[in-house]
Amino acid sequence: MSLIEIIMPKMGESIMEATVLKWLKNVGEKIEADEYLLEVATDKIDTEVPSSHTGIIKEILVPEGEVAEIGKPICIIETEGTTSQDLAQPAQISTKLEQEIEEIKSLTGINIEPIPVAETSNGGARFYSPLVLSICKEENISTAELTSIQGTGADGRVTKHDIFAYLENRTAPKSVALPVVEVKTQPVFVSGNDEIIQMDRMRRMIADRMVESKRIAPHVTSFVETDMTNVAIWRNGIKDSFKKEYGENITYTPILVEAIVKAIKDFPQINASVDGDRIIVKKSINIGMAVALPSGNLIVPVIHNADSYNLVGLTKKINDLSKRARENKLKPEDLQGGTYSFSNIGTFGNIMGTPIIMQPQVAIMAFGAIQKKPAVIETPQGDLLGIRQKMFISHSYDHRVVDGSLGGQFVKRVSDYLEAFEIDRKLL
């Protein structure tokens, strides 16, 4: 018999910790290798973690509601084996914090000045997660302030809750006179006929991110009306044979993604993020697509390297991500690395909207419902009136770095590609 530590696995780039939501096995119960052991939540996704070994659970090291660090033990199991294996020692945090900060920079794109090593009560180095460091940057918390904050995490680690608690009690320097502003708020009345719904974790996270995005980026929106007649005729003519040959339903979405990808290649500056006074133009084209969940919440899985797929590949990828999103089976890496996003609000019958940018991206597009409308058709013999299938495209962009010229030209280029779609196009 031997004791084995089950280590919290890597959840994706830039994720350094996860909150334990629920243990699926109790102490004394048997767990099989690859069987789900617990449910965890990161700032990107809720997911289940499998066991790396088969055995009996002897001790749970991170209780429900507590934070588990990536690469650290979360429980101990007893395994059967012909050889004895000593209990693995917990990984020690490196004393070379400068190297860790450089790694955090490369993973998150956040430019953070190195923070001196602070000694904890047990004499080890004090580690700061990327989330904590990014909050400190946004709130202008200095190195001295950060090292003075008492941590409630493991080994005295400072958590995001410690930072928020510090900010609530933080006082302005005495030399700065702050004006007193009286804010009058209307009381909230609740009657016996009202239904009170507590926000779930995902809704709270969405709320925080949307408010933060509007605070960070000055949003501007441009609109274009697009003739989708050729696209609609082509799709209606091919959807049955496509389903028979590839076993997939082809929607308008892969065609829309293809047009976005082509336009990004024409205007690469739109495929960017902002870091202080630096604009980081991304070389990879990773398209995030908003998916509405059965709960009413919204999630944005990412089509990585979208420019590497043809229409068949895009259809399969989009259908797979959408299905797994609705079944809560996305992996953390499915939500990471997006460089540009879109929302297909036409699926709800909406004709147009003004979407909120996914930080740290600089733009997002929304496609409205396709509607039949009378339109002027230009012919060599003169203008005629006809019925065309029209769609509004809206494009919200960060006016800090994207001016009206770039934002407007980009959405018009997407429209141009859709209108120029070949009605007799072959799939391969």
Q: What are phi and psi of 365, to 5 degrees?
A: -120, 150
Structure tokens at 15: 């994720």
- Catalytic-labelled residue, pool 34, 399, 416, 424: 399
- Catalytic-labelled residue, pool 43, 403, 416, 424: 403
Angle between the 311-326 and 229-246 helix axes, to the nearest 10 degrees? 80
Beta bridge partners of 287: 303, 340
Element (H, E) at 373: strand 371-379
86 is catalytic: no
Beta bridge partners of 55: 31
Structure tokens at 324: 């797994």
403 is catalytic: yes
CA atoms of 102 and 149, how far apart (whole Å): 22
CA atoms of 205 and 289, how far apart (whole Å): 18
CA atoms of 220 and 340, how far apart (whole Å): 16
Beta bridge partners of 13: none
Going by C-alpha positions, the residue among 375, 337, 332, 334 that lies closest to residue 358 is 337
Please list the active-site residues. 399, 403
